[in-house]
Structure 1
């Protein structure tokens, strides 16, 4: 009965079982269900007249797929009554595929796994093209919110780069808006009517990054049941945005260098060379030059990417943009949550202006969203709705008349007097040895699982792998 409940919980349709005969050992099945308030039928009737044939095809697909998996043999549902055809409610009947007279035709309509994967890939391409079309209808940079000098200088650099073919390297802290600038660059370039594909390199496991970026051939590894293009092929003739590029594995860095130098790539497990014409916009919140010095990033790749560097300023360097951004986000989330909040109070705005914004614009947006949720319509968002730590034990306690945030006594204590640190310094400890002990302890706690150990240390898996390589040199 979980299947009908899932249909109802997801808001697809309210299901009432009318008849159910199930024997898993024999593989026999017959089910008849009543559907009421089918969203698919309602949507159809909003745009069309009464249909001659049933219209709830996607819900039939859900029911057929779920029951097939549960019973262990192909089960096909048909709609014997449908609101889209003028009936009072919908009704479906399900039984084994071979018990339907037209079962051969029905089975041909159900895609197999490999075809389903191809359809998902095509759907992904369509979504990317739709995003490109939306970006092309508006210049993301011109419509961005800001008037500060630092912001305008960054915009000017992006506009000058747009007409060229040069690769662009965006640097800046997390949440500063690097992807917004990348989309603006693409929208203002001659490639605006071609795909824009964004990839966060840090979110893809190192052993899958090459397949995601450069594609994979069927049979390249277990589970590769169909050949599929990678992000670069999907971005052909357009722009690809590589965020957190410093997290690329060494092999992926070498493959990326080949794309930059030769304009060609090979899919994982393939031998055919694919010519590619893609503009690369890379971004990192780490210092790539320092990553090169540490051996984490290839020097030749860095120089290829660093043709046209642009620094995106952090929010604390463009505080005059905070009121504009605040107004923009308040309007956005008032619409999203059907609210009519009256903006931000003067005291709350002073607090926003004096806050240091470690999370930059992303943090501001999240803070405003929380403030809109917590504030009643026709009321102003106050500082307590924006800064929950003001009312939390051990958090910020007050805001002075200038808007500065005052911390508790424990937070304002002199950071130079730390008992643990003073003890370590008195013992003449080694920073490298302390780091090594922390890493070994985390690995032991994680039972050798590097990914789990990285989580315990609050760093990424590639960062931990780099530190482990460094530890080998200390032995």
Structure 2
């Protein structure tokens, strides 16, 4: 299939004009409004909670449909006389320019005369999927209702017939991106299920019905069982969540698997808090932090005189956790002798202190955790096969943070509140750019690394201010690409960010070195309000050096004036 390439969008950027004097923004002849995505998120939430998801979907779909039809007018006006594909992709390009989504064409078959159409596109960075997940968590159905309405409205107006789009993949369901397919309504066998969302409908009667339904639901709704100190709605996290809740009321040995920093101890504590043992002790042991010669005495206890330095009898971790839960972190690091004793404890429910011949009955719920491949350790002879089978009765895999990106905003919110309290500091929140940087990071250290980054951000951010990307990733913030900005005429133009590719920007502007120096010197003097010493400090030079350059420029100006006489 022929690759679809977007034409240069300079013709579209020129349509967008800002007029700060009268507070108007124009896209061609259409007035536009800049809104915070957070405000749209609140509107969406209010609609869903007040009139229900179905009615909210209808309203938002029709809003998007109307917007798409307006943009189709621009497409015909701007590129109507050219290539048909170039004219059509005005819609995707405008959708990106308007900040809604990144659109990647996959397939585009258009026959305007025959009325045939088939379009497939990948959506990335969908604002609608993002805000829905922030408000409601990951869901099991597509949620880009307004954007689907836009695509359908735009293509229907462009083609002169109803083209229906549906979302076959959605980032809000845990997919990596959204995927949409559009074709004539009659080509969809289930079109009757989708077309009602595009039709006008009075919501007054529906609101009256909903009032009774809401009152009835209030009587039935019970607070769901929640896991303390665990935050997340991503599919992998929910799966681990459900496994833990099912195991909580039993005595099964649980094996927590996952990378370093995913929160295995938090899951172990949550399992304990949800179990009938919650009133008894929770004892945590990091097996990797104990020297081999002390592991057995720490776990199983020691009798006086068992070895040099054992001046008193001492209970081990198993006895201290009697009646409760013992969490063995990094269990794969246990030496083989300790593994043999651990297996006996699991099988017989009794321990033997080091240097003692008596056995002691214990009642302990064991939760083990590891970030190593125990099967590989068994094959290498580093871990007992029988112990592995005994521990692997009920494995729970905790996903890494990079696989639950949708959980980052609520995690950040909770961490921000905690560290603000810890450091007695008030922070307004996290900027959108900072949140995007957090979502784009690979997180090799998982939730533990995120905690460190957020704490650093809270400390570095100004009081009552916002945590910015530079506060989070000190010295490692990736340089942003060239972005659209407003020039002096009020039009959108391409500009490189400050400090990046400045030489290219100067050369592209066609400025001479002499003119550039003159502009910089004059700007520094203006900012310093005529104070030459302050202007010199801005420029990193002494006042005599600045004075010399200004006089030199003045002399050049005089020569130019004389030459023109």
Q: Under TM normalisation by the shorter chain, which class is it?
A: 0.5 to 0.7
1:382 and 2:468 equivalent? Answer: yes
For the Cα contact (< 8 Å) 1:141–1:180, is it kept in 2?
Answer: no
Counterpart check, 1:241 vs 2:327: yes
Q: CA deviation at 1:289?
A: 1.1
Q: Which among 475, 479, 492 is matched to residue 398 of structure 1?
A: 479
Determine if the alignment matches structure 1 residue 334 to structure 2 residue 420: yes
Preserved contact between residue 140 and residue 181 of structure 1 (Cα < 8 Å):
no
Larger radius of gyration: 2
CA contact (8 A) 2:229 2:266 kept: no
Query: Is contact 2:303–2:313 with CA below 8 Å preserved after alignment?
Result: yes
Report the counterpart of residue 155 of structure 1 in structure 2.
241
- TM-score, normalising length: structure 1: 0.53
Offset of residue 397 of structure 1 = 4.5
Q: Is the 8 A contact 1:177 1:361 kept in 2?
A: yes
| Structure 1 pair 259–374 and aligned structure 2 pair: CA distance change class (3 A) | same
SS where residue 418 of structure 2 aligns?
Answer: helix
Residues 272 and 282 of structure 2 are in contact (CA less than 8 Å); yes or no, is this contact kept in structure 1? yes
Contact 2:272 2:325 in 1 (8 A): yes
d(CA) in 2 for partners of 1:205, 1:143: 31
Say which is worse superposed, 140-149 or 237-246, in terms of deviation.
Answer: 140-149
Cα drift, residue 399 of structure 1: 3.7
Q: Pairwise mapping of residues 26-37 of structure 1 onto structure 2 (< 5 A)?
A: none
Q: Say whether residues 1:324 and 2:405 are aligned partners.
A: no
Change (3 A) 1:202 1:328: same
In 1, the alpha carbon distance for the partners of 2:263 and 2:384 equals 26
Q: Distance in 2 between matches of 1:295 and 1:304?
A: 16
Matched residue, 1:275:
361
Quick one: which of 348, 352, 356 aligns to 1:262?
Answer: 348
The answer on 1:204 being equivalent to 2:284 is: no
Distance (whole Å) between structure 2 residues aligned to residue 389 and residue 226 of structure 1: 53
Q: How has the CA–CA distance of structure 1 residues 295 and 335 changed in structure 2, closer, same or farther, with 3 Å as cutoff? A: same
Distance 1:357 1:146, change over 3 A: same
Task: Report the Cα distance in structure 2 between the residues aligned to 1:165 and 1:295, rounded to whole angstroms.
Answer: 29
The answer to whether structure 1 residue 180 and structure 2 residue 261 are counterparts is: no
2: CA distance, partners of 1:140 / 1:242: 24
Task: Give, in whole Å, the separation in 2 of the partners of 1:206 and 1:401.
Answer: 56
3-state SS of 2:426 partner? coil
Give how far 1:400 is off.
4.1
Which of residues 293, 310, 319 is equivalent to 1:224? Answer: 310
2 CA distance for matches of 1:217 and 1:365?
41
- Return the alpha-carbon distance in structure 2 between the equivalents of residues 215 and 285 of structure 1: 26
Provide the C-alpha distance between the structure 1 equivalents of 2:431 and 2:410, rounded to a whole number of angstroms.
14
1:140 and 1:180 in contact (8 A); partners too: no
Matches within 5 A, 1:20-99: none
Inter-partner Cα distance in structure 1 for 2:478 and 2:277: 52
What is the number of equivalent residue pairs in this alignment? 261
The offset of 1:300, in angstroms, is: 0.2
C-alpha distance in 2 between matches for 1:365 and 1:401: 31
| RMSD, matched Cα | 1.9
Kindly tell me: are residues 289 and 399 of structure 1, through their superposed partners in 2, closer, same or farther at Cα, counting changes over 3 Å?
Answer: farther
Output one character per residue of 1:225-253: Cα deviation in whole Å (capped at 9) or x when no partner.
Answer: 10010000011111100000001011100
Does the CA contact (< 8 Å) of 1:140 and 1:187 recur in 2? Answer: no
Separation of aligned partners in 2, 1:242 and 1:304: 14
Separation of aligned partners in 2, 1:397 and 1:377: 25
1:351–1:399 Cα contact (<8 Å) kept:
no
CA distance in 2, matches of 1:388, 1:220: 52
> What SS is found at the alignment partner of 1:208?
helix
Between the aligned partners of 2:238 and 2:481, the Cα distance in structure 1 is 32
Change (3 A) 1:245 1:401: farther
Change (3 A) 1:400 1:277: farther
The alignment partner of 2:369 has SS state of: strand
Distance 2:343 2:240 in 1: 27
Paired residue secondary structure (1:207): helix
Once the two structures are TM-superposed, the CA of residue 389 in structure 1 deviates from its matched residue by 3.2
Q: Normalising by structure 2, report the TM-score.
A: 0.45
CA displacement 1:53-111 (0-9 Å, x = unmatched): xxxxxxxxxxxxxxxxxxxxxxxxxxxxxxxxxxxxxxxxxxxxxxxxxxxxxxxxxxx
CA distance in 2, matches of 1:229, 1:256: 16
State how far apart, in whole Å, the 2-side matches of 1:286 and 1:400 are: 39
Preserved contact between residue 254 and residue 367 of structure 2 (Cα < 8 Å):
yes
Could you list the runs of 4 or more consecutive aligned residues of structure 1 that deviate by over 6 angstroms after TM superposition?
A: none
Name the CA distance, whole Å, in 2 between partners of 1:187 and 1:140. 11
* Aligned equivalents of 2:279, 2:481: Cα separation in 1: 51
SS of 1:190 mapped into structure 2: coil
Superposition deviation, residue 192 in structure 1: 1.4
Gapped regions of structure 2 (runs ≥ 5)? 1-224, 484-499, 501-565
